[in-house]
Amino acid sequence: MNPKKQSINRRTALKTIGATGLGACLCGGCRTAPVTKRRQLMLMPEGQELALGSEAYQETISSEPASQNTRLSQMVNRVGQRIAAVSNRNDYQWEFRLIGSQTQNAFCLPGGKVAIYEGILPVCQDEAGLAVVMSHEIAHALARHGGERMSQNMAVNGVKMVAEKLVGTYAADKKEILMKAYGVGSKYGVLLPYSRRQESEADHIGLNLMAQAGYDPTVAPDFWTRFGSLKAEGQQPEFLSTHPADQRRAADLLKLMDESKTLYAGAKQKFGRGEELFRA
């Protein structure tokens, strides 16, 4: 979707949300994002989001090969478990999977279902770089950014969706939208980029998570600069289509560094940059 059309759609969504906002808030349709405490429109029940997330994850791992690299798979699991331990979501059924594909992508579905593609690992360089990607993706799930975007769509397309529900096409559509919303690969066509606000929020939450998990947060701005330069070299990784990396992102992360360094200082264990992903 072109940015202009997207911005018009967002404005329309906001107008609709404005009109229905009070009703939605009164019936529990709002929530507060973790860390930033931003108010979010949330019309989708979390239970439904978790069920769809689990289904979408099963579908992904049954259609994509698991990595044959035991050492790297264990690293993904280790980094993921450390982030999960500081996420305050013990109720999630966390799973971390390294997928044996050169696609440059990563995602976390609601409920803590995390997939990393081998293709993104060279950009990560070390465990801390991997922690940047994983904590950022986990942050999108913790803040329910996919559910928020679906709620905004519901507010705009409410009447249409109710009509579709009546003819029974809605459940399958919803899983497809959720997969697009959480950046699960291009099987269903164009991925939905996160909004700028959601991206900044995931950066903030993610930075705090990696610091609390014991990884050096100063690695994050460098990672995004490195990742952004791939685009300049003519590559367009899938991950970049949903998470545009630009100079503003790195600059915003630097502003959050004091807070994350304090959290890092208080981490139970410190791993610094951890192990190199690929030995020389």
Cβ contact 105:3 at 8 Å: no
Taking the complex as a whole, how short is the minimal distance between the CB of residue 185 and Zn ion, in angstroms?
15
SS (H, E, C) 215-249: ECCCHHHHHHHHHHHHHHCCCCCHHHHHCCCCHHH
- Give me the phi and psi of 127, to 5 degrees please: -60, -40
| Number of chain residues interacting with Zn ion (CB under 5 A) | 4
Closer Cβ to Zn ion, 21 or 193, answer by number: 193
Q: What is the DSSP string of 127-181?
A: HHHHHHHHHHHHHHHHTTHHHHHHHHHHHHHHHHHHHHHHTT-HHHHHHHHHHHH
137 is catalytic: yes
Taking the complex as a whole, how short is the minimal distance between the CB of residue 107 and Zn ion, in angstroms?
9
Taking the complex as a whole, how short is the minimal distance between the CB of residue 229 and Zn ion, in angstroms?
18
* String of contacts with Zn ion for each residue 124-143, x by CB under 5 A: --------------------
Cα–Cα nearest to 126, from 209, 222, 212:
222
Question: Could you tell me which residues are beta bridge partners of residue 115?
Answer: 97, 107
Select which of 95, 118, 137, 148 is catalytic: 137
**Binding status of residue 243 toward Zn ion by CB under 5 A:** yes
Taking the complex as a whole, how short is the minimal distance between the CB of residue 70 and Zn ion, in angstroms?
29
Q: Could you give the angle at the alpha carbon of 230 between the alpha carbons of 229 and 233, nearest 5°?
A: 90
Strands 30-32 and 39-41, by their bridges, are antiparallel
The residue within the footprint of Zn ion, chosen from 79, 83, 150, 202 (CB under 5 A), is: 202
Closer Cβ to Zn ion, 24 or 56, answer by number: 56
Closer Cβ to Zn ion, 239 or 264, answer by number: 239
**Binding status of residue 114 toward Zn ion by CB under 5 A:** no
Quote the radius of gyration of the chain (alpha carbons, Å).
Answer: 18
Residue ranges in 165-194 that form contacts with Zn ion under rule CB under 5 A: 194
Closer Cβ to Zn ion, 29 or 112, answer by number: 112
Residue ranges in 19-58 that form contacts with Zn ion under rule CB under 5 A: none
By annotation, the residues acting in catalysis are: 137
Residues lying near Zn ion in the complex (CB under 5 A) are found at: 194, 199, 202, 243
